Amino acid sequence: MFEKALGLPMHVLVVHAVVVFVPLLVLLAAAYIVLPRFRPRLDWAVAILAVVAPITAFVSVQSGEALQERQIARGFSGEIIDQMNAHAAYGDVLFLITLGLALATIVLLVATSGHPRAPKLPNWLTPVLSVLVIGAGVAALVYVWLTGHSGSEMVWGNTFD
């Protein structure tokens, strides 16, 4: 299911969505935190990104595993498999961080919504969630870079030296 899309390895296509949606979630969640007067304008976009970003990270991990299995079946071995495993490890961590970021962001959206149906949460929860979202956002950006860099080094190596 996660192997090919339009005749191309799905992983090659999906990773670009991760590179766009995860940093965008971080940026808009940070804006939501530091610019409270714009929250009514940002909340829908932040909520959508909190759903889309972890989905793209999950599909990227699954499609990467399918691609790796295909490459092993084609006879890849040795150093390239070690590089694939390192890249996959970064991707796994990125997915978990993105999932945590998304969950914390959604709880923050609920806590600050002011909607009458939203549960009344303790006052200390908003600053704690804000720090958690910013921290997870920084970690997500670091792992987007580490994952992308390890993948591009594996594919492109010293091509442009």
Task: Read off the pLDDT of each residue in 120-140 and give the average, rounded to a whole number.
Answer: 94
Backbone angles phi and psi of 9, in degrees to 5: -60, 125
What is the overall mean pLDDT for the chain?
91
DSSP-assigned states of every residue in the chain: --SEETTEEHHHHHHHHHHHHHHHHHHHHHHHHH-GGGHHHHHHHHHHHHHHHHHHHHHHHHHHHHHHHHHHHTT--THHHHHHHHHHHHHHHHHHHHHHHHHHHHHHHHHH---TTS----TTHHHHHHHHHHHHHHHHHHHHHHHHHHHHHHHHTTTT-
Q: In the prediction, which pLDDT does 160 show? A: 57
Predicted model pTM: 0.90
Q: In the prediction, which pLDDT does 8 show? A: 77
pLDDT tens-digit map of 46-93: 999 999 999 999 999 999 998 888 888 888 788 888 888 999 999 999
Q: In the prediction, which pLDDT does 33 show? A: 97
Q: In the prediction, which pLDDT does 157 show? A: 77
pLDDT tens-digit map of 7-43: 778 888 899 999 999 999 999 999 999 999 999 999 9
Q: In the prediction, which pLDDT does 141 show? A: 98
Q: In the prediction, which pLDDT does 161 show? A: 54
Q: In the prediction, which pLDDT does 137 show? A: 98
Q: In the prediction, which pLDDT does 128 show? A: 97
Amino acid present at 9? P
Q: In the prediction, which pLDDT does 3 show? A: 74
